[in-house]
Every structure is written in C-alpha cells, then in structure tokens.
Amino acid sequence: MFAYVLRRLALIPLTLFGIMVINFAVVQFAPGGPVEQMLATLSGAQADATSGFSGGGREVAAPSMSGSDYRGARGLPDGLVEEIRTLYGFDKPPVERFVDMMGSYLAFDFGDSFFRNAPVVDLILDKLPVSASLGLWSTLIIYLVSIPLGIAKAVRDGTPFDVWTSGLVIVGYAVPGFLFAILLVVIFAGGSVVSWFPLRGLVSDNWAELPWWQQILDYFWHLALPVASLVIGGFATLTLLTKNSFLDEIGKQYVITARAKGLSENRVLYGHVFRNAMLIVVAGLPATIVGLLFTGSLLIEVIFSLDGLGLLSYEAVLNRDYPVVFASLFIFTLIGLLLNLIGDLMYVAIDPRIDFEARGG
C-alpha cells in the first residue's frame, strides 16, 4: 500500500502540470485579456477628461492615435501601453510566462491580483471561510440524511414508505438550488411573508462583540437558508445510490448465510452489508466535497450576498484576472487530486480485502 501511495503522489505533479498547460493554452486564444481590460478603462477615463488624465501616477497629455495592435489602445501613448504590458508580464512570450508562473507556484508564490491590488493567497484565504462553511455543512447534512434514508428505503423496498420518499427526493432533485434559494428568501428572509433569517453575510456586523455561544448561534442563523438551498438537490443521487447498493448486497449469498445463522437484522445490515455497500458511496465523496466547496455555490453566494470563492473565481474570469484564475485552478486541482487519493485510502479502511498493490494500481 505504501508503494501505491508513493506512485499516486508522484502522478499528482504530472496531472497538475498537464491541466495547467491545457488551461494556459486555451486562455491564450481567448478574446480580451488584462491588458485590454486596463486599456478599455483608460480609454473611458480619457474620453471623460478635458485636458488629460492621470496614468501610473503621472499626468499624461491627450495623445494622438496610437500605433499599438490593441483596439483599446487607440488614443493612448505607445509608452503607456508598453508599461501596462510589462506590468502584467505580457512583454514576455507565452512559454516564458508559463515557465515563470509554474516556477512561482512550486514555491506556492501565487503573486498579486491584477485588479484587486492584493496577494492572491490573501484573497483566497479571505473568501475561504464562506465557501468552506457552505460546502462542509452541506456535505455533512447530505450524508447524515441520505445514507440512513437510503438504508431505510432498501429495507422497505416497494412499500408505501419507499414510494413516497422516492417521490419527495426526486421532486427535490428536480428543483434547482438557486430557485429554492429564491423561494426561501421570499418566504423566510423578508421577501413577502416573514423576516426570520438574515439575507446578507456569514455573520452579523456585531459578531465580534457577542458572547461565544451567541456567535455560534449567529453563524448558523446566517447559514441556515444558504445550506438548505445547497442541500435540497443533493439528497436524491446519494439516497438512491445508497438504496441500490444495499439492495444489490442484500441479495447475495453471504447475507442469506448470515441470516441462516440466526444473526439479527441489524447485525446483518450494519455488520456485513454496510461495509460492502458503502464502497460505491465513498467513491463519490471527494467529488462531492470539491463540487460543493469550490464550484457549486456561485448562485447561492450571489443570492445571499456571500462573498466566497465561487464569486471570486467568477469575477476573476470576467475581469481576466489571470493570477486569481490560475492560482484558484492550481489550488483546487491539487486539493481534488489529494482528496481522490484519500478516497482510495478510505476504500481500504472500509474493506481491508481491497489491495491496490495486487491490482497493479
């Protein structure tokens, strides 16, 4: 097992490098860029000026048409355009820029945001509590509800309980999370019925002044509606997956033998079936965590005015803030690869009979 873990760890840098190469190459062909964004801003500022504008801390007179290749550079001095290109590193060829970027990333130096005037790491750490809170609590609730519900449905397969719960779960899955979030806002957050929950932020403005127990209550008070919005669509897949996994295992010979020995139904289900049925459920845990933590909450963050990683990444793409875009991609991909490895280790923890070494994994 130790050799398998070493091989997987050795593959992580290669996989990460390949993903970064592909995305960096795609970005080179995408229209627009940070230089164009800045030039468009300066051109707009110049259009509003009557005698000139301030650029880079110095006064720039109203110039004639520029010879630059950038469409947004019309009317701007060539020297200023070159300063902007140098500032953003676009005075270097793409290969050199990529090598410099990856060299910095190896030292976990992610540089500064082009448009936020702050280190990328500080921006990510500042937004992380929001996304981590949404992702972790949503995942925990989904698993705590879906697994027992799936087991109960498998034991009562075909009964009215199974039929009605399947209907409710599928209806919940069919409702998009952001629509459910809007419904919750309308009903519970001052939309038109009651104002029981807040509509903005992860905590209240006076959170630091509250006693510790009120801080905890305030934190969950703000999280209640966003987490409910994320959870509503997550029950169906895991519940039905758990049910089908248990049904598949319950019909096997070792379960019949265990029952023939006189073991109780709970002993059969949780002492024998559970370990085997949970393997396929565990397989989806890393993807669920990554999805909810980093990519699944953009619209929820917007609706509830939560400034998290989803909103940060979305705005970075719109503004062509490449340091934030590539640093987020690098960090999230690395975390995803490590979680996949942890998922494999959980396989072995649940069922020691699994041997990745013997399978040549």
Give the whole-angstrom CA distance, residue 79 versus residue 66. Answer: 10
Element containing residue 54 per DSSP (H, E): strand 53-55
Q: Is the pLDDT of residue 181 over 90?
A: no
Q: Dmax over Cα atoms in the chain, in whole Å?
A: 94
Residue 292 lies in a domain: yes
Residue range(s) defining the domain that contains residue 25: 2-90
Is the domain of 78 the same as that of 134? no
The answer to whether residues 65 and 154 belong to one domain is: no
Closest to 321 (Cα-Cα) out of 80, 103, 117: 117
175 and 238 in a common domain? yes
Region 148-165: mean pLDDT is 90
Residue 171 sits in a domain whose CATH number is 1.10.3720.10
Specify the DSSP class assigned to residue 291. Answer: I
Separation of alpha carbons 248 and 360, rounded Å: 27
Give the burial class of 60: count Cβ atoms within 10 A of its Cβ; 0-12 exposed, 13-18 middle, 19 or more buried: middle
Q: What is the pLDDT of residue 270?
A: 81
Judged against a pLDDT cut of 90, whether residue 18 lies above it is answered with yes
- The mean pLDDT of 102-110, rounded to a whole number, is 89
Structure tokens at 336: 């995803």
Cα distance between residue 3 and residue 66, in whole Å: 60
Considering the domain boundaries, does residue 160 fall inside one?
Answer: yes
Asked whether residue 103 is assigned to any structural domain, the reply reads no
**Total structural domains within the chain:** 2
Rounded to whole angstroms, how far apart are CA atoms 101 and 114?
14
User: Which residues neighbour 39 within 8 Å (Cβ) at sequence distance 6 or greater?
Assistant: 70, 72, 73, 76, 81, 84
User: With pLDDT > 90 as the criterion, what percentage of the chain qualifies?
Assistant: 9
CA distance readout (Å), 278 to 141, 205, 263, 272: 17, 43, 21, 11
| Single residue among 47, 67, 90 that ends a domain in this structure | 90
Task: Report the alpha-carbon distance of residue 191 to residue 339 in Å, rounded.
Answer: 39
Residue 332: per-residue pLDDT = 83
Whether 254 is covered by a domain: the verdict is yes
58-60/53-55 β-pairing: antiparallel
- Clarify whether residues 80 and 150 are in a common domain: no
Residue 117 has pLDDT above 90, yes or no: no
Structural domain contains residue 98: no
Same domain, 148 and 58: no
Closest by CA position to 306, among listed 296, 298, 316, 317: 298
Residues 134 and 39 reside in one and the same domain: no
* Residue 318 CB-density burial (10 A; 0-12 exposed, 13-18 middle, 19+ buried): exposed
Residue 36 lies in a domain: yes
| pLDDT for position 158 | 87
- Locate 186 and state its tokens: 């309308």
85 and 148 belong to one structural domain: no
Q: What pLDDT is stored for residue 292 in this prediction?
A: 62
Residue-wise pLDDT for 183-193, tens only, equals 888 888 876 77
Is 76 or 88 the better-scoring residue by pLDDT? 88
Q: Angle at the Cα of 83 (from 81 to 87), degrees rounded to 5?
A: 120
Is the per-residue pLDDT at 180 higher than 50? yes
**Predicted confidence (pLDDT) per residue in 288-333, tens digit:** 766 666 555 778 888 888 888 888 888 888 888 888 989 988 988 8
* Mean pLDDT, range 335-344, rounded to an integer: 81
Q: Are residues 137 and 56 in the same domain?
A: no
Q: And the tokens for 101? A: 């970027």
Average pLDDT over the chain, rounded to an integer = 79
Same domain, 141 and 276: yes
Of the pLDDT bands very low, low, confident and very high (cuts 50, 70, 90), residue 42 is: low
Q: Of the residues 90, 109, 138, which one is the last residue of a structural domain?
A: 90
275-286 pLDDT tens trace: 778 777 776 676
Instruction: Identify the H or E element spanning 47.
Output: helix 34-48
At residue 22, the pLDDT reads 92
Tell whether 154 is covered by a domain. yes
Q: Do residues 128 and 40 both lie within one domain? A: no
Between 179 and 45, the more confident residue is: 179
pLDDT at 53: 40
95 within a domain of the structure (yes/no): no
Tokens encoding 264: 């109780």
Is 7 in the same domain as 145? no
Q: Within this chain, do residues 44 and 150 fall inside the same structural domain, yes or no? A: no
